Amino acid sequence: MATSLHKTSNTGISLYKIAIVGASTLVGRELKDALSESPLAAAKIALLDADDVEGQLDHLGDEATFIQGISAGAFDRADFTFFCGSETLTRNYWRRALGAGSTVLDLSGALDQEAGVLVCAPWLGVEIPAVDLFTPAVAPAHPAAVALALLLDRVQQVAPLRFAAATVILPASEFGRAAMDELHQQTVNLLSFQTLPRDVYDAQAAYNLLSGLGEAASVSFKTVEARIRRHYEALTGGRKPAPAVQVIHAPVFHGHTFLLAVELERGVEIAALEEALSGEHVDLVLEDTDSPSNLAATGQNDVLVRLRPEPGAPNPGMVSRFWLWAAADNLRLNAQNAISCALTLRRLRPHGAVQ
């Protein structure tokens, strides 16, 4: 395997080379922007994608650049390669990146069931387990799984969980730019009484809530739901009760929203529950007027959450059953988690080590 080489800046801080495969996608663009605000901001970044978008104008910071095709030497000396495009694109090139000595981080959902691939979310305070020279890739956990695990972990610091059920409300951006374009065009066509495009959803997504799609849909709710379940299980190690999960689609462009019904083994003080929920990566909203929403979460790094006790509790100030209404910027959280994974791997893999 190749040896990872690092250039050194005038300050003596080693610089990294990063490749983003699928750089033209929504996730790829969000990752590129998030990297510029991270400890990896000084890294040399290569924007890569499929041949049909090669040469597309883009930017890195204030500098204009172009998206490159994936050439034979595209991954040479790349410390980290983030796969942000389609599952097919990832499967076609991830082993080439691995063979070039790059650490592979898969945001596409293609590799999490490959042998040895580790699902991770450093926000939960758990280090990536068992990473060594033979780890094929790391899969940053699905942002919905991260949000659910983060909230329910905080709840279980106060009392054991008896039951939880989560409805995850997906935006069009969950399925990429094509889904956003179709939702937009469906909205326009409905208002002008024209035929609706159905290539992505094979159903009316505009002005509609969907729990299922048409037979010819190019995306799958079941696939997303299964991925959320797998990643939650991987993050908690099966040591804590998993919530019942269902996904539905709302006619919005960005942002995950969540409705969680929670029951604890015993009653706890509402103040203690609010204190447990508050903290790093979670913004507890106390006023109804500022209720979490996909719009409020846009551009935010934290998960927004509002606690609503079940009415009719016999003990005022105590609660055992309650609702959590939460929202998160799905693209932002995905990018932030992926960068956190890379920073953890940076600590685990010293400079100059064979990768």
Task: Give the count of alpha carbons within 13 A of 224, CB side only.
Answer: 24
Cα 247 to Cα 225: distance, rounded to the nearest angstrom = 6
Q: How far is CA 335 from CA 13, 36, 71, in A?
A: 23, 11, 25
| Domains parsed from the chain with CATH numbers | 7-140+335-348 (3.40.50.720), 145-330 (3.30.360.10)
- E strands in the chain: 7-8, 14-15, 17-21, 44-48, 57-60, 63-66, 80-83, 103-106, 118-120, 138-140, 161-170, 244-249, 256-269, 282-284, 303-309, 318-328
What are the tokens at 238? Answer: 């099966």
- Determine the pLDDT at residue 13: 39
Q: What is the mean pLDDT of each run of 10 residues along the chain (355 residues)?
A: 42 72 96 94 93 79 84 92 96 95 95 93 76 80 97 95 97 97 98 96 97 96 96 88 95 97 94 94 88 94 94 79 97 96 78 40
- Determine the pLDDT at residue 304: 97
- Determine the pLDDT at residue 52: 82
Biggest distance spanned by C-alpha atoms of the chain: 68
- Determine the pLDDT at residue 168: 98
Cα 174 to Cα 314: distance, rounded to the nearest angstrom = 41
Environment class of 27 (CB within 10 Å of its CB; exposed 0-12, middle 13-18, buried 19+): buried
- Determine the pLDDT at residue 66: 84
Q: How far is CA 89 from CA 13, 30, 82, 120, in A?
A: 33, 18, 12, 22
How many CB atoms sit inside 10 A of residue 90's CB?
23
- Determine the pLDDT at residue 55: 74
Report the predicted TM-score, pTM, of the whole model to 2 decimal places: 0.91
Is 152:244 a contact under the CB 8 Å cutoff?
no
What are the tokens at 326? Answer: 């939460």
- Determine the pLDDT at residue 354: 35
- Determine the pLDDT at residue 347: 73
- Determine the pLDDT at residue 315: 74
